[in-house]
Amino acid sequence: MESKKRLYKRILISFLVCLSPILIGIFLIPSLPGELPIHFDFQGTPDDWMSKELFFYGFPWFFALFDAICLLLSFGTKKGNPQNPIIENLLLWLLPAIEAVCYVSILLFVYKPGFQVERFIPGTIGVLSLVLGNLLPKAHQNSTFGFRNAYTLASKEVWTKVNRAGGYGLCAIGLLLIGCALTGPVWISLFLIPLVMLVLTISLWIYSKNLYKTVSHS
Query: What whole-number distance in Å separates Cα of residue 6 and Cα of residue 14?
Result: 12
User: How confident is residue 217, by pLDDT bands cut at 50, 70 and 90?
Assistant: confident
**Distance (Å) of CA 186 to CA 44, 118, 121, 142, 189:** 9, 7, 10, 36, 6
Q: Are 14 and 93 in contact (CB under 8 A)?
A: yes
- Residue 7: per-residue pLDDT: 80
Compute CA distances 62 → 19, 57, 90, 175, 211, whole Å: 9, 10, 20, 30, 41
Residues 137/163, Cβ–Cβ less than 8 Å: yes
Of 184, 82, 193, 182, nearest to 140 by C-alpha is 82
Q: For 62-102, how does the pLDDT look when each residue is reduced to its tens digit (9 = 90+)?
A: 999 999 998 888 776 555 455 667 788 888 898 999 999 88
Q: Which is higher by pLDDT, 51 or 121?
A: 51
Q: What is the pLDDT of residues 136-182, one digit of tens each?
A: 998 888 777 888 899 999 999 999 999 999 999 999 999 988 988 88
Query: In the structure, what pLDDT confidence band is assigned to residue 1 with cuts at 50, 70 and 90?
Result: very low
Instruction: Quote the CA–CA distance of 7 and 117 in Å, as a whole number.
Output: 35
**Calpha distance 178→3 (Å, rounded):** 38
